[in-house]
Each structure stands twice: as structure tokens, then as C-alpha cells.
Amino acid sequence: MKYINIRTLGAIVTLCLFSQSVYSAIALDRTRVLYNEGERSVSMVLENENESKPYLAQSWLENSKDEKINSPFVVTPPVQRIEAGNKSQIKIQALPAINMLPTDRESIYYLNVREIPPRSDSPNVLQIALQTKIKVFYRPKSIVAPSRLEANPMEKDIVIEKQGGHYNVKNPSPYYLTITKVRKNNTEVNGFEAVMIEPFGQRPLGSKVGDLGATPAIEYLNDFGGLVEVTFQCRGDICSANIKDKKA
């Protein structure tokens, strides 16, 4: 199974007099966070992969509107120094306000980690702060699984519906569904942009997806960040999941 490492890089340029190679020094040990109800906290490892310089790591949480939050979760420490080649931890902890979240579906937040390089003593230096952003999924007890999910338990009920000149995907499950690829006749649709569908929601596949024929397929991300393929059989404007044809 393939794994996808999705990293959002935000660059802050303080002085741009010449170019130099850029790479991330602070690395997270995962590409997504699952926080199950009942857990006191979830810890993640940060590693400074630069072998010669210490870096500061600034961490915070955002909601789906890209707004910084301090509730119902908090991340600690908000800022820390990590020596060259060393590892450290950050912790996401739930606050009492977690009881206000839906109990029948996932809620989503975003963890941001920004690395801050040491100040250079040399003039005319380009300094860049790289930022990693990953999803944090909170699962209430009603949908917590014994282990991480290799596939959406309700993938057989996913429906693709043709509406006019576009397609809608209906997510019948209490989990977020992130579709990264769409195929027609085993050929990947060029220009398709990933779509994340909220629990019990539906979203269009986008204007770049033309006619998908009678047997389209999608690929979505599981709890491990791996890709899971689901094929469909279309009758009229409704395409139903064909689990028997799904690749292992």
C-alpha cells in the first residue's frame, strides 16, 4: 500500500538578495493525528534533522476556518528549542469544551508546526521559516474503532451521482472522506484536485472531471495515509460502489 506524505510549506522571506537551497529541518513523525474520545492526550515526536544548528519549533492549532484556537484542544509547548540532531515532543490535550463536539461524527482541526532558524551573523542572508500543517481528527466514542481503519467501514455505501454536467459524491459515513484520485476506464483524470467530504455530506468532484463512463473509480486516504481504491458501477445517473472489484 502506498503512503502519501502531504506537507504544507509556508515561506517567510526576511531578506532576498540571493537564492539558496531550502529544506525542512523540523520533521513530524506522522502526516495526520487521530484523537479518540477518552484519551487524555496525544503526543507527537519532532526531530531537528539539521545536524549543526538548533531550531525553534512553534506549534498551534487551527479550526476549519484557518483561525487559531485554544479550545477545545490545546497544544503544548507552544514554542520550544530543539538542538541539532535531537528529538522532542509536542502534546495535544483536550479541554472540558470537548464535550460540546458532535457525538455521532468526526470533528476536524489542524496542527501547525513552524520552524524558526537561528539568526545568522552574516549579512545578506536569506532566512526562510517552513511550516508543516496536518489534519487532526477527533473521534467520539460512538465511532471509535479498535485500531486504525484501513478502509472506511461504510465505503460500500458511497455514491457518485451525476447532476447535469458534473458529479457529486455522497459520504454516508461519520468519517471525513478525502478523495485524491478519480479514474475513468482505469485512466486517471488529469487535473483533478483532491476533495474532502465532511461526514454525512456531499461535494462535487469539480469542473475538470468530465464524463466518467459506466465504471469509474476513486482513491481515498485511510487512517494510515495510504490509498484505498473503490470502483463503481453506474446505472443511469447513479453510480454504486462495487466492492467485489476492489483491489486488496
Which range is least confidently modeled, 121-125, 181-185, 209-213?
Answer: 121-125
pLDDT number for residue 244? 62
Residues forming a β-bridge with 109:
136
The DSSP annotation for 186-207 comes to: TEEPTT---EEE-TT-EEE--T
- Tell me if 26-143 shares its fold with 155-245: yes
pLDDT number for residue 234? 93
Three-class secondary structure assignment of 148-188: CCCCCCCHHHCEEEEECCEEEEECCCCCCEEEEEEEECCEE
Question: Hey, where are the domains in the chain?
Answer: 26-143, 155-245
Judged on CB neighbours under 10 Å (0-12, 13-18, 19+), 206 is middle
Q: Could you tell me the CA-to-CA distances from 227 to 101, 139, 145, 221 in Å, in that order?
A: 28, 21, 19, 5
Residue type, 49: E
Band the pLDDT of 121: cuts 50, 70, 90: confident
> Around Cβ 21, how many Cβ atoms within 10 Å?
4
pLDDT number for residue 37? 96
Band the pLDDT of 248: cuts 50, 70, 90: very low
**How far is Cα of residue 140 from the mean position of the Cα atoms in its chain?**
19
Instruction: Please determine, looking at this structure, whether the domain spanning 155-245 carries the CATH number 2.60.40.10.
Output: yes
Output the average pLDDT for the chain: 88
pLDDT number for residue 115? 95
Band the pLDDT of 127: cuts 50, 70, 90: confident
Residue type, 137: F
Band the pLDDT of 207: cuts 50, 70, 90: confident
Q: Could you tell me the CA-to-CA distances from 21 to 13, 24, 68 in Å, in that order?
A: 13, 10, 30
pLDDT number for residue 122? 75
List all residues 6 or more positions away from 123 whose beta carbon is below 8 Å from its beta carbon.
none
Judged on CB neighbours under 10 Å (0-12, 13-18, 19+), 159 is middle
Handedness of CA 48, 50, 51, 57 (dihedral sign): negative
**pLDDT exceeds 50 at position 11:** no
Band the pLDDT of 120: cuts 50, 70, 90: confident
For the domain spanning 26-143, the CATH number is 2.60.40.10
The mean pLDDT value for 229-246 works out to 86
Band the pLDDT of 41: cuts 50, 70, 90: very high
**pLDDT exceeds 90 at position 210:** no
Is the CB of residue 46 less than 8 Å from the CB of residue 27? yes
Q: pLDDT, tens digit, for every residue of 136-192?
A: 999 999 999 888 999 999 999 999 999 888 899 999 999 999 999 999 988 999 989
Enclosing H/E stretch for 241? strand 238-241
